[in-house]
């Protein structure tokens, strides 16, 4: 099974984002990951739909947009119009999950659900047949550069087993603390998409580092 690499621009420099996006567009990465934070659902603030829309023209990669926000329904139309290819929001929000999934998918955009480390994997069961991907957080959402939480491996295994046993076509994406070692733990457990931020952006050459990570998991 192919492993998709989704570099998170949260690890990059926002002052030179055009250059960063263009570099990633020329790499072997399949996706580009956008961590949208509102300062409410998580204690950090990043960017909004206008930012995504402005840089859409610099890349043909899949824009993998992860909404770590409350009031998803209020802003969803803007993220759909921004050029997002996949929109993932959190299971833990206090909104009508089924209604949000339906709204995303009726616009031809793929939809995912994300779960925090402390959320039991079983909570996603009622929705998993209606979505395209699950994001399993392996750090507490809100900031980049955190250490991988090894106790989430069992959650990956359980969700992977559920997907396989029910014959579903749902991707498992891992977000948080990904490098060669932790990524291997995740793919061995059943994940097929790896979000890498700090690990890639701290390397001297972003394109080379991204290509090497891709080749490691797909050689």
Catalytic residue among 64, 151, 175, 215: 175
Q: CA–CA separation, 32 vs 151, rounded Å?
A: 26
Q: CA–CA separation, 136 vs 151, rounded Å?
A: 12
Q: Domain extents for the chain?
A: 4-218
**Whose structure tokens read 């990570």?**
213
Per-residue pLDDT of the chain (219 residues; tens, 9 = 90+): 899 999 999 888 778 899 999 999 999 999 999 999 999 999 888 999 999 999 999 999 999 999 999 999 999 999 999 999 999 999 999 999 999 999 999 999 999 999 999 999 999 999 999 999 999 999 998 776 778 999 999 999 999 999 999 999 999 999 999 999 999 999 999 999 999 999 999 999 999 999 999 999 999
pTM attached to this predicted model: 0.96
Determine whether 151 is an active site residue: no
Q: CA–CA separation, 56 vs 169, rounded Å?
A: 27
Per-residue b or e along 72-100, where b marks 16 or more CB atoms closer than 10 Å to that residue's CB = beebbeebbebbbebbbbbbbbeeebeeb
Sign of CA dihedral 76, 113, 85, 60: positive
pLDDT at 144: 67
Determine whether 64 is an active site residue: no
Q: CA–CA separation, 65 vs 83, rounded Å?
A: 10
pLDDT at 15: 82
Catalytic residue among 25, 35, 171, 215: 35
At the top level of CATH, which class does the domain 4-218 belong to? alpha beta
């Amino acid at each position: 099974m192919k492993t998709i690499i989704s570099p998170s621009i949260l690890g990059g420099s926002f002052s030179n984002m055009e250059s960063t996006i263009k570099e990633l567009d020329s790499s072997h990465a399949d996706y580009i990951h956008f961590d949208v934070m509102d300062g409410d659902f998580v204690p950090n603030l990043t960017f909004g739909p206008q930012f995504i829309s402005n840089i859409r023209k610099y890349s043909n990669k899949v824009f993998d947009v992860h909404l770590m926000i409350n009031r998803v329904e209020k802003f969803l139309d803007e993220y759909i119009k921004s050029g997002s290819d996949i929109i993932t929001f959190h299971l833990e929000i206090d909104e009508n999950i089924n209604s949000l999934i339906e709204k995303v998918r009726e616009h031809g955009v793929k939809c995912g659900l994300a779960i925090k480390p402390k959320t039991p994997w079983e909570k996603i069961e009622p929705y998993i047949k209606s979505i395209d991907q699950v994001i399993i957080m392996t750090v507490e959402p809100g900031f980049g550069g955190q250490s991988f939480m090894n106790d989430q491996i069992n959650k990956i295994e359980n969700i992977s087993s559920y997907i396989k046993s029910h014959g579903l076509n749902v991707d498992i994406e891992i977000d948080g603390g990904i490098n060669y070692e932790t990524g291997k733990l995740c793919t061995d457990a059943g994940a097929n998409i790896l979000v890498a931020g700090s690990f890639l952006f701290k390397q001297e050459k972003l394109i080379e580092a991204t290509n090497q990570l891709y080749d490691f998991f797909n050689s």
